[in-house]
Amino acid sequence: MEKNSHLLHGTTIKLSFKGDYITARSRILKYLHMTRIALPYATIIFDDPEGLFFVAPTLSHILPKPPRETPPHPYGVDIIKLKEMIESSKKDLPLYKFFLKFSRIGKVTAFNFSKLIGLDPFKPLRKLTDEEIKRIAEGLKSYKFLPPDASALSPLGLETIKTGINAEFAPEYIALCQRPPSAYEGFSFIVETAIGYGGNIPPPANGSDDIRLLRFANKIPLIYDASNDVSMRVILEDIDWKNYGLDLKSDPLLFFVHIAATKVPFKTAGKEYVADREEIRREIRLGFRECARELKSYLSKKAQQIHHAQRKEKMSVYLTLLAKYTSALAETELIPKTKLNALINKKGVEDE
């Protein structure tokens, strides 16, 4: 027993394992910093073997909505999974009631689907033949069911993302987007994107090869093989950034992607990067485009403000000199500077 002198609460997990810390140190620290971005409501303390003490205090008390368990969607069930579900069900269960075990299938849909595949909705499961089970599996893939329920997902939320990015990079501006729920192969997913600009975000040092991209899948940071990830392909191949007034080779940009999914399509067993699935690629592309439009609007307004400020400064110099010399020629008192400033600030003068 250990005395809880600091009145800590919650769950403590202690692990001991061997590893090459010297080689992995930079990746471990990067993982912690990225975790801080995704989980600003958590407190992270890390005391490394070399004496570094990393502390990330709680920055927000806004917690993401927890996921809710949902039945499998028809599009995500293959014939093997279908047979498992039939085996685990009561043998005398009518076929239409079996279909009610799926997400997005109600009683009317169950009857309509049964008729479409040519089966009696009241037929008990024990009387199904292998050919009929195969017909059901094929029908589950082709029938137009409602899209998967997104309540099984737990996105980060735009406020959480904004808090995390601000803590790490303090950008001049952040454009954020949360796409509506979508699905691939019956697996629901939500894509969240963000583009940060300026602040502590450095401009790229090596052109397009130095793109700063933060990737997350179900709140877990992905730190390896970014060049192969579908998000990087979207950035480099799908969007003409010049249309948004952005230059990947010179602008201080930060790209952020989070994929919340019931099944993330990782390309490798190590789960280093997300595979190039068209449905996911489309949502990332649309998310980045929405962020880029918002950032373009901000930068355009900023450029206009700078332009107007420069015009005011020039106008102030010219009017001051003009007032000085005209007063001398007319042998009158010099116009007060307050009146000159009022004249400069007039909309009519500004727009000339």
> Distance between CA atoms of 143 and 118, rounded to whole angstroms?
13
Domains annotated for the chain, with CATH where assigned, are 74-142 (1.10.8.50), 150-298 (3.30.230.10), 307-351 (no CATH)
pLDDT at residue 341 greater than cutoff 80: no
Nearest of 166, 168, 167, 184 to residue 176 by alpha carbon: 166
Angle, alpha carbons 233-235-236 (nearest 5°): 65
| Whole-number pLDDT of residue 348 | 46
What is the average pLDDT across 187-203? Answer: 95
Contact 267, 275 (CB under 8 A): yes
Residue 44 three-state SS: strand
| Whole-number pLDDT of residue 129 | 95
What is residue 231's DSSP assignment?
A: H
| Whole-number pLDDT of residue 229 | 96
Q: How far, CA to CA in Å, does 345 sit from each of 62, 258, 338?
A: 43, 46, 11
> Distance between CA atoms of 191 and 186, rounded to whole angstroms?
16
Q: Which residue has the higher pLDDT, 214 or 14?
A: 214
> Distance between CA atoms of 232 and 243, rounded to whole angstroms?
18
pLDDT in tens, 38-53: 999 998 888 888 888 8
Q: What is the mean pLDDT of the chain?
A: 88
Highest mean pLDDT out of 140-154, 286-300, 319-333: 286-300
pLDDT in tens, 136-181: 999 998 999 988 888 889 999 999 999 999 999 999 999 999 999 8
As a three-state string, the secondary structure of 95-150 is HHHHHCCCCCCCHHHHHHHHHHCCCCCCCEHHHCCHHHHHHHHHHHHHCCCCCCCH
pLDDT at residue 339 greater than cutoff 80: no
| Whole-number pLDDT of residue 343 | 64
* Length, in residues, of the chain: 352
pLDDT in tens, 72-123: 889 888 899 899 999 999 999 999 999 999 988 999 999 999 999 999 999 9
pTM (predicted TM-score): 0.78
Contact 235, 215 (CB under 8 A): no
**With pLDDT > 90 as the criterion, what percentage of the chain qualifies?**
58
| Whole-number pLDDT of residue 235 | 97
pLDDT at residue 252 greater than cutoff 90: yes
